[in-house]
Amino acid sequence: MNNSLIESKFLSHPEDLGIVAVGFSGGQGKAGVDTGPTELIESGLLTQVRDELGYNLHGHTTVDQYTDLVPADDPPHRGMKNPRAVSAVTRRIADQVYEQAREGRLVLTLGGDHSIAIGTLAGSARATRERLGREIAVIWVDAHADINTPETSDSGNVHGMPVAFATGLAKGDKEEFFGWLKDEHRVSVKKLVYIGLRDVDSGEKKILRENGIKAFSMFDIDKHGIGRVMEMALAHIGNDTPIHLSFDVDALDPMWAPSTGTPVRGGLTLREGDFICESVHATGSLVAVDLVEVNPRLAADVEGAARETIRAGCSLVRGSLVYEERRVIERVHKYHWPAVQLNLWMLIMMVASCLIIGVFAAFIDIQNTLELPIPWYFPYYITVSALTVSFILLLLWLIFRRRLLPSIVMIGGFILFVLWLVGLVVISIQLWGPSGSVSSNCNLWVFGADPAPTGQTLQTLAWLEQRGICQSWQAVFAFGLVGAIFLLWIMVMAYQVFADDA
């Protein structure tokens, strides 16, 4: 198990982390962003993730440079720079991410410029479709929308276009120009949410508007606060959709992450960035994370710029991988209850309690009709059974809140057991006790014993009613016994859960 307190909804191996480390910079013009993953790893990111956060690492922990895929000559196509290289590299990345994601692991991709998200989104969209039959949602945290098509882009840098390719708003033509992107790789614009935007090209604004894409700019964050923005963003996605978080470090203000290719002032604080990652992790829906555009070579004039940017990047990754004590004041322990047994227990106890309530309620009614006094143990057992029902409801609520503690079950179980046992003893005495027991009287009142009256007479009816009453007594005894045994059982079960965990 990893150290997160959040249970994953869509990963079959939430303790495993598939790593893809992408040393690629061809989606834009500034050298050095390809060294981002190396520096992140050398700063101890992955050892921390393994040793402190408790993940098993899989995949490519050495950085892939993709040199075999970068052609010597790569002239622009439809205005895109390095189109063949970016297309081939993102295609490889798509396979690398897919290989990790189809195992049901969380995938962490370290970039590299943001063009690589063409690959990461393609890989996780395809794997999620195959594995769960679901589409992924994308949370794109960035100063830029990166949704230019080759035709709307001013720069021709593909790192400004990944969302357009991933959603199919931009189509590849030939195989070597993103033609390899198929429907299975696509993500829906309906399940895309932006956070942190503040530098959006006019062509991009048009695309966002026309496609009704959900976007929270820095303005929205200032207006509502990051907490409310995350609530709205996650509500838009819904809690039944796996989430791919693509985090461009330039979403953070340059104060926190100066070493990046296209810094824009007025960005997120580090805490706001962390909060986004933590909130997404806390949904339990996270299936993949990208951290991109860390370029340690840039902003060299600023003292400690690269180090700060790396640190910020590590913090973001950490936030998205674990929900841990630095944010949780109350440390909650996870207990592993045997679900089937527990459900069976609740069902049978519910049946027993309801039956006893029903029978004794009917008995009280009969006593009233006969103008006889009501013995104390009728209301007593009704109360005990009602308490048992409340206890079961309490358990259900605690299970729902994931707070079912063995101690609560043991104490509750013990109290009910004692009450239940008292009832059982009284019932036994009434049924079979030495003086005037129900059992011995059963056949006496109406016609003594045999033969049983037959025919449609009042006597028969009376006899049947009397027999019914006697059988009800026996049923109460049977279920009283089952209840007492089951209460013993739940105490044992709770003790085992407690002991197994210790």
Ligand X SMILES: NC(=[NH2+])NCCC[C@H](N)C(=O)O
Binding site for ligand X (CB under 6 A): 114, 144, 146, 148, 153, 155, 157, 159-160, 201, 248, 250, 261-262, 293
113 is catalytic: no
- Taking CB atoms, the residue at the shortest distance from ligand X is 160
Q: Give the E-state strand segments of 15-66 in sequence order.
A: 16-21, 56-59
Please say if 51 is a catalytic residue.
no
CA distance 32 to 112: 9
Work out how close the CB of 28 gets to ligand X at its nearest, in angstroms, rounded to a whole number: 7
Write down the least CB distance from residue 143 to ligand X, Å. 7
- Which helix or strand (DSSP H or E) is residue 196 part of? strand 192-197
155 vs 430, beta carbon nearer ligand X: 155
Cross-strand partners of 139: 193, 245
Structure tokens at 441: 């009287």
- Closest to ligand X by CB, 33 or 355: 33
Residue 479 and residue 485: Cα distance in Å, rounded? 10
Pick from 346, 341, 500: nearest CA to 416: 346
16 SS3 class: strand
User: Measured from the CB of residue 62, what is the shortest distance to ligand X in angstroms?
Assistant: 24
Tell me how far, at minimum, the Cβ of 71 lies from ligand X, in Å: 22
**Is 330 annotated in the active site?**
no
**Structure tokens belonging to residue 123:** 């890989």
Active-site residue identified among 74, 142, 201, 253:
142
Tokens linked to 386? 């009602």
From the candidates 39, 199, 204, 293, which is the catalytic residue?
Answer: 293
CA–CA distances in Å: residue 359 to residues 61, 346, 365, 438, 457: 67, 20, 10, 15, 26
**Active-site residue 114, yes or no?**
yes
Smallest distance, ligand X to C-beta of residue 57, A: 27
Tokens of 332: 């909650």
In the complex, the smallest distance separating the C-beta of residue 42 from ligand X, rounded to whole angstroms, is 23
Q: How far apart are CA 360 and CA 347, in angstroms?
A: 20
Question: Considering beta carbons, is residue 266 or 379 the nearer one to ligand X?
Answer: 266
Nearest to 37 by CA among 145, 109, 137, 95: 109
Q: Is 250 a catalytic residue?
A: yes
**CB of 100 within 8 A of CB of 58?**
yes
DSSP, collapsed to helix, strand or coil, labels residue 95 as helix
Q: Looking at 16, 204, 250, 274, which residue is catalytic? A: 250
From 60, 114, 185, 244, the catalytic residue: 114
| Nearest in space to 300 (alpha carbons), one of 267, 252, 260 | 260
Catalytic, 236? Answer no
Nearer to ligand X, 35 or 388 (CB): 35
Q: Closer to ligand X at the Cβ: 217 or 262?
A: 262
- The two tokens of residue 55 are 């993940």
- Which residues on adjacent β-strands are paired with residue 193? 139, 214
Which residue among 159, 185, 244, 281 is the active-site one? 159
| Nearest to ligand X of 17, 249 (CB atom) | 249
Pick 261 or 483: Cβ nearer ligand X: 261
Active-site residue, selected from the candidate residues 16, 64, 74, 146: 146
Q: How far is the CB of 75 from ligand X (least distance, A)?
A: 19
By annotation, the residues acting in catalysis are 114, 142, 144, 146, 159, 248, 250, 293
